Amino acid sequence: MPLRFVHCSDIHLLELAGTTPQRFFNKRLTGGVNLLLNRGRKYDGGMFQKIVAAAHAHAAERLVITGDLTNLALESEFEHVQRHLEAAGLPVTVIPGNHDAYTRGSARAHRFEHYMSAFMAGEREPGSDYPFVQRLGDVALVGLSTAIPSLPLYAVGRVGDDQLARLGRALARLRGEGLARVVLIHHPVVRGVAKPRHDLLDLDAFGAVIAEHGAELVLHGHEHRRIEGWLPGPGGAQVPVHGVGSGTYLSQKPGRHGAYALYTVRPGSVIRVYHRWDGREFVADEPDAPPLRGTGSH
Ligand SMILES: [Fe+2]
Ligand SMILES: [Fe+2]
């Protein structure tokens, strides 16, 4: 059975009720005021509702969100996001982005995991949060975290050696079972894609795991623009890597539109139809997208 799902990312839902001036005595949050004011002008949370409606219209079985659900990782923001996801009316899978661990306090408290656990249910190695594996028919979603608190103006991420080792074991096991493996990660994993100070610190080590074990598809967000690339897999295979624009971005600059992508994935085949925001509604960008091959292992 194929899995039909909608991928979106970087919805950065605004919830201003919890952002009282006292919150911003925290140094890390001082820059947050400007960030929120800017976001309010350039992003529209209502577009997320339209993505949810589109997912229903497409008869998607699931909504997958690859991080940056919040802006400052405040409790009030997570409560706001949680309410939206619970009301979506279809199963949702999430992973964290750098904004979901914006402060050391939020990361230390595992705030993202606390509020989002219902959307990350799955198999994991004992004592670890990531990766988690969700088996959905012939497809396995493999959710990673690159979220680490970083200095103001930095938006770097790291998978970490331990998580990479667990990822390798999970990919090997799922490959043995013949499942189509869809890896979810917030930061781009193809070199040269991320802006400086915005990148995945252990990108090469991640690439080495994919080169050894393969995957059928890697999905990410973070750059708020459309990205297509690939990573080398085993035996000369090319593993497709797709970045989606922010789900709530009002921009009409080419490649930077608000966006979501509809996927139909089964072992041996990945079909994507990219949808971008044209200022009024989401429209399909490439209705006749040819199937993209996975690693060829199935
Ligand atoms: Fe983002
Ligand atoms: Fe990000």
- Kindly report, residue by residue over 46-92, the tens digit of the pLDDT: 999 999 999 999 999 999 999 999 999 999 999 999 999 999 999 99
Tell me if 294 is assigned to some domain.
no
DSSP-derived letter for residue 244 is -
Mean per-residue pLDDT of the chain: 91
Tell me if 190 is assigned to some domain.
yes
The per-residue pLDDT for 295 is 44
Residue 204: both structure tokens together = 């090469």
DSSP-derived letter for residue 251 is -
Tell me if 296 is assigned to some domain.
no
Q: How many domains does one find in the chain?
A: 1
pLDDT in tens, 136-171: 999 999 999 999 877 777 899 999 999 999 999 999
Residue 11: both structure tokens together = 């919805």
Query: Distance between CA atoms of 148 and 141, rounded to whole angstroms?
Result: 22
pLDDT in tens, 106-115: 999 999 999 9
Q: How far is the CA of 239 from the centre of ligand 2 (A)?
A: 22
Instruction: Provide the 10 A C-beta neighbour count for residue 249.
Output: 24
Q: How far is the CA of 72 from the centre of ligand 2 (A)?
A: 11
**CATH number, domain containing residue 26:** 3.60.21.10
The per-residue pLDDT for 174 is 98
Tell me if 42 is assigned to some domain.
yes
Range of the domain at 231: 3-284
Q: 């799922």: which residue's tokens?
A: 174
Tell me if 82 is assigned to some domain.
yes
Tell me if 293 is assigned to some domain.
no
Per-residue pLDDT for 26 more than 80? no
What's the average model confidence in pLDDT over 170-179?
98
Q: How far is the CA of 121 from the centre of ligand 2 (A)?
A: 22
Kind and range of the H or E run holding 208 = helix 203-213
Per-residue pLDDT for 296 more than 50? no
pLDDT in tens, 219-241: 999 999 999 999 999 999 999 99
pTM: 0.93
Tell me if 295 is assigned to some domain.
no
Residue 20: both structure tokens together = 């009282």
Tell me if 186 is assigned to some domain.
yes
What's the average model confidence in pLDDT over 263-268?
96
What's the average model confidence in pLDDT over 119-134?
98
Q: How far is the CA of 111 from the centre of ligand 2 (A)?
A: 17
Comparing 148-152, 170-174, 293-297, which segment has the lowest mean pLDDT? 293-297
Q: How far is the CA of 67 from the centre of ligand 2 (A)?
A: 7
The per-residue pLDDT for 37 is 76
Q: How far is the CA of 153 from the centre of ligand 1 (A)?
A: 13
Query: Distance between CA atoms of 218 and 182, rounded to whole angstroms?
Result: 6
Per-residue pLDDT for 30 more than 70? no
**C-alpha angle with apex 153: 165 to 14, nearest 5 degrees?**
90
Residue 128: both structure tokens together = 């670890």
Is the preceding peptide bond at 131 cis, omega within 30 degrees of 0? yes
